[in-house]
Amino acid sequence: MGDNMNKAKNVILYCISLNAILSFVVLFAFAGEQHQHKFAELYSAKSTCTEKGFTVYSCDCGESYKGNYTDALGHIFSNDVVCFRKSTCIQKGEGGRYCKRCYAKTDIVYYSKTSHTPVYVTVKATAKKNGERRKECSICKKLYSKTVIPKISSIKLDKKIYVYVGRVKTPSVTVKDANGKKLKKDKDYSLVYQKGRKKTGVYSVNVTFKGNYEGTKTLFFKIRPTAVKNITASPSISSVYLSWDKSKGADGYEIYLKNKKLKLIKDTENLYCTLGKIDGKKLKSGTDYVFVIKSYKKTEKGKIYSTSVSKKVSTKPQKASIGKVKSVNGNLTVTSVKQNCHGYEFLLSTNKSFSNPKRVSVKAEKSTSYTFKSVTKGKKYYLKVRAYVVSGGEKYYGYYSDVKTVKT
Ligand SMILES: [Zn+2]
Ligand SMILES: [Zn+2]
Ligand SMILES: [Zn+2]
């Protein structure tokens, strides 16, 4: 019983202290006075077409209320029906009357879709890609038709190399598409030729595409000097002297030795040259050489060459010398020491001065000796020999050997 009494006592004490704290807080907040709201206009909203206007009042404590309502204004619709959105082929158009204040719409009407607006669209062809020509609706892109414009596949000059003649050269241009059809000048492309085109040189032709095509291309052609003409060769034993006529449009000449390959051995502005040494070595006697001459014109882009002309030349043979001499039964056989040449000429005379001798030529590929028949026995004969080459249709002889005297 005493326990319960104590419990009750504690609860009461607790309630009293809680009340004291609360009173304290209220006392502090309102300084002990009762609160009087002071409402002031916080903000106001004007009436719109559809909403009432009002004012909001509030007190510093946070309390607030709406009041001072004004009626909604109602719409002011236009008299005339106007178009809000035009019809297209994709969407219906819309019209109606509208509120002049808030633009609210009323009496909405719809207009039917328009038909398509077909236009032609061209995607130009280039050298890399096909183009196309489409008929399509400009709004919804509905496709009516499509044709491919085949790409440009070849752009060529009818002639890329001319030989100088002192006249202006204008090669024509042929352009074909991927189907092999020729494109038309001035309609599909235009041409600009480099100026001049008369002297030796390299010239450009600019092709600019237009119409259904686009892109540019530069083509080149050249005018080369005329080939070397009338080459004459004068051989000696260890060198060759060459001369030739001036090539038109040229300012220099290159001379090559032709073996398996061409080897450049001379570069000259003259119309002649002496070919004495090749790689530091003299030319061999009685030997066939083929020289090639090209004329050229120097330009900023390098030399422009004529076509090649070759000339076969044989150097003169060395002085000959007699090897064996045999006299048997009225036959006198003379053998020359072998050397580089095309043949040997054997001379037999009964006098020392070789007036009116017997003179016989033998090709080197056949023999190095010759037999004079029916010589008179017991008589004194004089022999000499010389080697020869045939070059440019002419025979060139080496020096005679020393004279050999034979008694048969
Ligand atoms: Zn208040
Ligand atoms: Zn309105
Ligand atoms: Zn359309």
pLDDT tens series, the chain, 408 aa: 444 545 544 544 444 455 555 554 444 555 546 889 999 999 999 999 999 999 999 999 999 999 999 999 999 999 999 999 999 999 999 999 999 999 999 999 999 999 999 999 999 999 999 999 999 999 999 999 999 999 999 999 999 999 999 999 999 999 999 999 999 999 999 999 999 999 999 999 999 999 999 999 999 999 999 999 999 999 999 999 999 999 999 999 999 999 999 999 999 999 999 999 888 899 999 999 999 999 999 988 899 999 999 999 999 999 999 999 999 988 999 999 999 999 999 999 999 999 999 999 999 999 999 999 988 888 999 999 999 999 988 999 999 999 999 988
Q: How far is the CA of 298 from the centre of ligand 2 (A)?
A: 89
Clarify whether residues 326 and 402 are in a common domain.
yes
Q: How far is the CA of 139 from the centre of ligand 2 (A)?
A: 34
Clarify whether residues 201 and 248 are in a common domain.
no
In a domain, 354, yes or no: yes
Clarify whether residues 174 and 101 are in a common domain.
no
In a domain, 126, yes or no: no
Rounded to 5 degrees, φ, ψ at 88 are -125, -175
**Chain centre distance of CA 113:** 53
Question: The domain spanning residue 158 has which CATH number?
Answer: 2.60.40
In a domain, 149, yes or no: no
What torsion do the CA atoms of 137, 141, 142, 145 make, to the nearest 10 degrees? Answer: 80
Clarify whether residues 353 and 372 are in a common domain.
yes
Q: How far is the CA of 269 from the centre of ligand 1 (A)?
A: 118
Clarify whether residues 306 and 344 are in a common domain.
no
CB count within 10 Å of CB 247 equals 26
Looking at the structure of the chain, the number of domains it has is: 4
Closest ligand to C-alpha of residue 63 is 1
Clarify whether residues 249 and 219 are in a common domain.
no
Q: How far is the CA of 321 from the centre of ligand 2 (A)?
A: 135
Q: Is the pTM of this model over 0.75?
A: no
Closest ligand to C-alpha of residue 35 is 1
In a domain, 40, yes or no: no
Question: The domain spanning residue 386 has which CATH number?
Answer: 2.60.40.10
3-state SS, residue 107: strand
Q: How far is the CA of 113 from the centre of ligand 3 (A)?
A: 10
Closest ligand to C-alpha of residue 105 is 2
For residues 175 and 184, give the distance between their C-alpha atoms in angstroms, rounded to a whole number.
8
Clarify whether residues 278 and 309 are in a common domain.
yes
In a domain, 10, yes or no: no
In a domain, 211, yes or no: yes
> How confident is the model at residue 301, as a pLDDT?
83
Last residue of a domain, one of 274, 294, 314: 314
Q: How far is the CA of 85 from the centre of ligand 3 (A)?
A: 17
Clarify whether residues 295 and 328 are in a common domain.
no
Sign of CA dihedral 260, 261, 266, 268: positive
For residues 270 and 345, give the distance between their C-alpha atoms in angstroms, rounded to a whole number.
37
Strand partners, 95: 83, 109
Q: How far is the CA of 67 from the centre of ligand 2 (A)?
A: 23
In a domain, 148, yes or no: no
Closest ligand to C-alpha of residue 51 is 2
> How confident is the model at residue 374, as a pLDDT?
84
Closest ligand to C-alpha of residue 144 is 3
Clarify whether residues 332 and 397 are in a common domain.
yes
Residues by chain with Cβ below 5 Å of ion ligand 2: 49, 75, 99, 101-102, 104
Q: How far is the CA of 112 from the centre of ligand 3 (A)?
A: 14
- Domain with 346, as residue range(s), is 322-407
What is the pairing mode between strands 216-224 and 161-163? Answer: parallel
Last residue of a domain, one of 262, 291, 314: 314
In a domain, 241, yes or no: yes
